[in-house]
Amino acid sequence: MGEKPYVIDQMISAKSIAARIEELAREITTEFAETEKLVVVGLLRGSFVFIADLVRELPLPVEVDFVETSSYGNAMESSREVRILKDLRGDIEGRDVLVVEDIVDTGHTLAHVLTLLQSRKPRKLRTIALLDKPSRREAAIKADWTGFEIPDEFVVGYGIDYAQRNRNLPYIGKVRFTET
């Protein structure tokens, strides 16, 4: 069974994303100015483009690590069951940690990951999300920094996929399904 046909309408341009990342990096640099080394933890796979651009804007000593979770599969709706597929390689006890998420939707994934990481006793634990859909929130969670608040639309691009496609788009686009 194939995917339904769709088109992608640009919502947030590559230029707007780049400008917002510069602003966010300045705020994060201020927050972590005294850090020995900031452990930037990306939530795979959707955050990889965002994390790459963000760390290049941070004039701080950084270490990058990743956690891979699964709650969507190839579906458009979260299953609300969060599984850890890949855990951190390094120890974060007593360290400064910034968790980077592509999009906060229901909030279940970010809440699950933060509970896991908090149990490892970091010195400071903060979060940043490129996109936030507050209208979809089910878990009581909010990122410390947000790139863009968006309406309840299914989006792709800039690392975010639909069935493993469209991650390579340089912008955020809204998926609009078409009739065949």
Per-residue pLDDT tens digits for 25-79 = 999 999 999 999 999 999 988 999 999 999 999 999 999 999 998 765 555 555 5
| pLDDT > 70 fraction of the chain, expressed in percent and rounded | 92
| pLDDT-derived band at 82, boundaries 50, 70, 90 | confident
pLDDT at 70: 77
Distance CA 31, CA 116 (A): 22
pLDDT class of 81 with cuts at 50, 70, 90? confident
**Mean of pLDDT over the chain:** 92
Burial 73-92 (b: 16+ CB within 10 A, else e): eeeeebeeebeeeeebeeeb
Domain boundaries 21-71+79-148, corresponding CATH code: 3.40.50.2020
Q: Span 13-21, mean pLDDT?
A: 98
Query: What pLDDT shows up at residue 153?
Result: 94
Strands laid side by side in the 62-70 sheet: 83-86, 62-70, 38-44, 96-104, 124-132, 145-149
Q: What is the per-residue pLDDT for 83?
A: 80
Please report, for the chain, the start and end positions of each structural domain, with discontinuous segments joined by +.
Answer: 21-71+79-148
Predicted pLDDT of residue 1: 45
Expressed in angstroms, the distance from the first to the final Cα of the chain is 14
More confident call, 172 vs 78: 172
pLDDT tens sequence across 107-160:
999 999 999 999 999 999 999 999 999 999 999 999 999 999 999 999 999 999
Q: Which of 102, 105, 152, 161 is catalytic?
A: 105
Q: What is the pLDDT of residue 180?
A: 63
In this prediction the pTM is 0.91
Annotated active-site residue 105? The verdict is yes
If you average pLDDT over residues 73-101, what whole number do you get? 81
Report how far residue 152's alpha carbon sits from residue 136's, in angstroms, rounded to the nearest whole number: 7
